[in-house]
Amino acid sequence: EIPAVGNPVRTRAILEKYRLRAKKALGQNFLTDLNILKNIVEAAGITPADNVIEIGPGIGALTEQLAIAGGEVLALEIDTQLMDVLDEVLDPYNNVQVLNEDVLKANLPDLIQTKFTDPSAPIKVVANLPYYITTPILMQLLKSEIKWSSITVMMQKEVAQRIVSDPGVKAYGALSLTVQYEMDAKIAFEVSRNVFVPAPNVDSAIVVLEPRKVALPIEPTNEKAMFSLIKGCFSHRRKSLWNNLQTLYGKTPEIREKMQAALDEIGVDSQIRPEQLSLEQFVQLSNALESRDL
């Protein structure tokens, strides 16, 4: 019987057969630990009822495990050179489609409608992400109108820690708030750099995102304004909230008066650092500023 693609000996044989060298510029680090591959699929809670989207299948190690556990699998790979490999390696599985596409340019809602037999089945993303575009990919997934059942993605450990971070610590910032606005986020487990071929320069972690179970108690009156406020506040995270607000909105007496009134309304001290504000407080602050035409 042929060993799984994720088996280190099989991986090496595939790379040799196709004379492949991992492309650094595309973030190619192939996972060669079957236990970890299975643990990722388990963390994602993949069942035969699921439509699965994989980003960056590489030589198909994770894709194979997704095909075994899932319903239908749609994998998007940018590297044309890998198409023949994937074709051969995934040949035994009739529930997998591989597209030679850049995920950042893909029309995901359209692909879901046209590629899955039942587009209304739960849609789960599972991926060992190309690390150089982790954040753009996450932003694309979150700002799409798709109702993801879950997003389970491997990334650099430090980025994972920023995503799941609570207020008050250094890792907390615009990324934490942007993700947590939509999703509950947790780290499922960490992965050593040594289980990849070639080994990356960083350790990794698996992040699981699921739609928020508890809705935010208040909604922003202007979502775009709230995200500008968040982004602006964390561009000088060592400065006080007050200094950041002055940079964002201005320093005239009239503006300062409005800003102080907004802070008073929500009961926040102007001298705290932005990282001490919770997501809920950012929503409150944004609404309080909006209502004063700032």
Q: Which of 282, 269, 125, 105 is nearest to 208 (CA)?
A: 125
String of DSSP letters for 144-199: SS---SEEEEEEEHHHHHHHHPPTTSTT-SHHHHHHHHHEEEEEEEEE-GGGEES-
Nearer Cβ to ligand SAM (18/242): 18
Measured torsion, CA atoms of residues 135, 137, 142, 144, in degrees rounded to the nearest 10: 150
Nearer Cβ to ligand SAM (113/132): 132
Q: Is there a binding annotation on residue 102?
A: yes
Alpha carbon distance 138, 285 (integer Å)? 26
Nearer Cβ to ligand SAM (92/168): 92
Nearer Cβ to ligand SAM (28/287): 28
DSSP H or E stretch at residue 280: helix 279-290
Nearer Cβ to ligand SAM (130/274): 130
String of DSSP letters for 83-133: HHHHHHHTTT-TTEEEEE--GGG--HHHHHHHH-S-TTS-EEEEEE--GGG
Q: Is there a binding annotation on residue 128?
A: yes
Q: Is there a binding annotation on residue 95?
A: no
Name the minimum Å distance from CB 23 to ligand SAM: 6
Name the minimum Å distance from CB 114 to ligand SAM: 18
Instruction: Tell me which amino acid residue 50 is.
Output: D
Q: Is there a binding annotation on residue 210?
A: no
Q: Is there a binding annotation on residue 29?
A: yes
Name the minimum Å distance from CB 203 to ligand SAM: 13
Catalog residues that contact ligand SAM under the rule CB under 6 A. 26-31, 55-58, 61-62, 76-79, 102-104, 128, 130, 133
Residue 39 has a CB neighbour count (10 Å cut-off) of 16
Name the minimum Å distance from CB 276 to ligand SAM: 35
**C-beta nearest to ligand SAM: residue:** 56
Alpha carbon distance 153, 103 (integer Å)? 14
Name the minimum Å distance from CB 28 to ligand SAM: 4
Query: Diameter of the chain by CA atoms?
Result: 77
Name the minimum Å distance from CB 55 to ligand SAM: 6
Nearer Cβ to ligand SAM (48/136): 136
Rounded (to 5) percent helix, strand, coil in the chain: 45, 15, 35
Instruction: Tell me which amino acid residue 117 is.
Output: T
Q: Is there a binding annotation on residue 100?
A: no
Question: Can you say which residues are annotated as belonging to the binding site for S-adenosyl-L-methionine?
Answer: 29, 31, 56, 77, 102, 128
Question: Can you say which residues are annotated as belonging to the binding site?
Answer: 29, 31, 56, 77, 102, 128
